[in-house]
Each structure stands twice: as structure tokens, then as C-alpha cells.
Amino acid sequence: MTSFPAGYRIGHWTDSTRRTGCTVILPPAGTTAAVDVRGGAPGTRETGVFTPGNLVSEIHALVFAGGSAFGLASASGVTSWLRRRGVGFAIGPARVPIVAAAILFDLGVGEAGAYPDEAAGEAACEDARGGEIETGAVGAGSGATVGKVLGVTRASRGGVGAASVAIRGGHGVSALVAVNAFGDVVDPESGRRLAGARGEGELFSTARALREADLRESPLAGAHTTLVCVATDVPFEEGSLKRVAIEAHDGLSRAVRPAHTVVDGDIAFALAPAGQPPPLLTRLRVGAAAAEAVARAIVNAVTAP
């Protein structure tokens, strides 16, 4: 069973007809966040908040959404939902929810004018629950595709994926991803291609095509990204947690080839209970587990029913 640490709730809003949606991660109180952007075309909200040394490091919700920049509207719905429940950063009599978001481009797959709006964000919050995470073509992955070097029509299905990895001491790291990559998804162990552009022959690969093929389709035709969230029950402060977000990208590179291209918006968030930096060996273990969980989650995204 794949689930996040205790206290986390995850929900989806899915429009399977128009092929778009959003996914919300609601962490327990006292969760801190860090973020690392590696792609060349990110679309985000409130990522600058989580810079070590800034005033606020606590996060109240994280939203992954389709709909490109329009999908950021879903985060406003999540903000309203939290505000009505008194959740937020206290500033005098007010409480301001800290809601980060990242988007992917699915406008070329379903209905070009469809995107998750404020009502969709609220619906995802209402759907949020702990326990087993629904994966596949749901939520932010409803219109996600993989391997678009030959255009969207010859790409494979992407989706939402999740995985968990245990580490010594009774702790663990979980990952949730929304995979809409330009490159192919491969088995991290064997390198076997699992999803990608549907070219001629089984050995077609995006990386090889970029080096050798006479390509006509613009790589921008589908727009691309892989969105990553890793969460651990090991306490961190934002400075040391930033390294976990960086290491999470290693898992992306293992499972997506090529990754972090100029046309991808690859981004990784790391979430943990606020606290002092853990011992060095624990930090190393969490980072290694984060990379492994992300790689497994990406595979899950394209293989889930």
C-alpha cells in the first residue's frame, strides 16, 4: 500500500472528459517545505516563500494542476477552503494559508479551454483523505502525456504516481508525482522503456531521436513537466530540507530520459515536520530514499491501471 506519513491527506478533482484536473496535498500542522526547480519552463505559485532564511517556511497545502497557467486558479480555491477552516499563518487577527502550486500543460490533449478552477481546488480538498493514494490518469495527471518529441498524438499516457520507501529507525519517505514529461519513462533498474513517443520500432527513444533523427515536430507542441512532492516523517529545518528536494531530482533523472530539459518545468517539493536538522547519516538516508521513491512513483504513474 502506498500512502503518505500520518496526518497527510491527498485528494483529486478529475475531469476525465475534458482531460484535466488537480491534486491537493494537505499536510499536518507544523509541516515545513523546501523546493528545487530544475526544469527550464516551470509554472508555479508561492515557491519563493520556501527560501531558507525567509519569514515563513510552514506550508498548509500543495497543489499540482493541469491547465497550464490557468490551472493555478485551483490553488485559490484551496486557499479559500483552508481560510474558512481557520488554517493559515497568523498575522494579527488574520490567518493566511500558505498554498504552493505547480502546473503542467494538458491543453493540447483534451479540451483546449478546460482547466481546474477555484471550484475544482475546493472539490479536491473535499476529496482529500489519508491512506491509499489513487494513481494513474486522475487529478493533475488526467491529461498528462509522456514522450512528445513526435507530437502529442504520438505520445503515451502519463499520470499521477506514488511510492513509499522505508528507512532504518522506523521512518520513511513517500513521493507523489504528476508525470507529463518531454522524455521517455524507463525502468530505473534495467533501462527498459516503459512509456514514450510512439515511433517506428521498439528501440525508438527520445534521447536517440534528439541526437540522430530528422525531427519536424516542435518540442513545444505539447509542453512538458514532471511535478514531484516527497514527504518524510523525519523532522527537518528548511535549510537541510532543501537538500532533500535537490536529491529527489535524482529519482526523476533515473526514470525520465532526458529530464530537466529546457522545455520541461520539472520541480520538486520536500515536506517534513519542522525541527532541527537530523543527524548526518539520517539526512543521507532520507535523501537516498527520496530519490528511490520518486523513481518508483514515476514508473507507477505510467503503469497504474
pLDDT value at residue 149: 84
- From 286, 237, 183, 206, select the one nearest 31 (Cα to Cα): 237
Q: For residues 10 and 229, is the Cβ–Cβ distance under 8 A?
A: no
Q: Higher-confidence residue: 62 or 149?
A: 62
Average pLDDT over residues 240-245: 96
Predicted local distance difference test score (pLDDT) of residue 119: 98
3-class secondary-structure state, position 177: strand
N- to C-terminal Cα separation, the chain: 15
CB of 144 closer than 8 Å to CB of 195: no
Q: Where are the domains of the chain?
A: 9-303
DSSP letter (8 states) at residue 121: H
DSSP 3-state of 88: coil
Judge whether residue 174 has pLDDT over 60: yes
Provide the whole-model pTM.
0.95
pLDDT digits (tens, 9 = 90+) for 10-50: 999 999 999 999 999 999 999 999 999 998 889 999 999 99
Task: Answer for the pair 271, 60: CB distance below 8 angstroms, yes or no.
Answer: no
DSSP summary character for residue 96: E
Which fold would CATH assign to domain 9-303? L-amino peptidase D-ALA esterase/amidase (3.60.70)
> Residue 219 pLDDT > 70, yes or no?
no
Q: How confident is the model at residue 150 (pLDDT cuts 50, 70, 90)?
A: confident
Whole-angstrom distance, CA of residue 108 vs CA of residue 15? 15
Q: In the prediction, which pLDDT does 221 show?
A: 56
Which pLDDT score, from 0 to 100, does residue 154 have? 84
Structure-model confidence comparison of residues 147 and 139, the more confident one: 139
At 217 the pLDDT is 60
DSSP for residue 129: B
pLDDT tens track for 253-288? 999 999 999 889 999 999 999 999 999 999 999 999
Taking residue 47's Cβ as centre, other Cβ atoms within 10 Å add up to 18
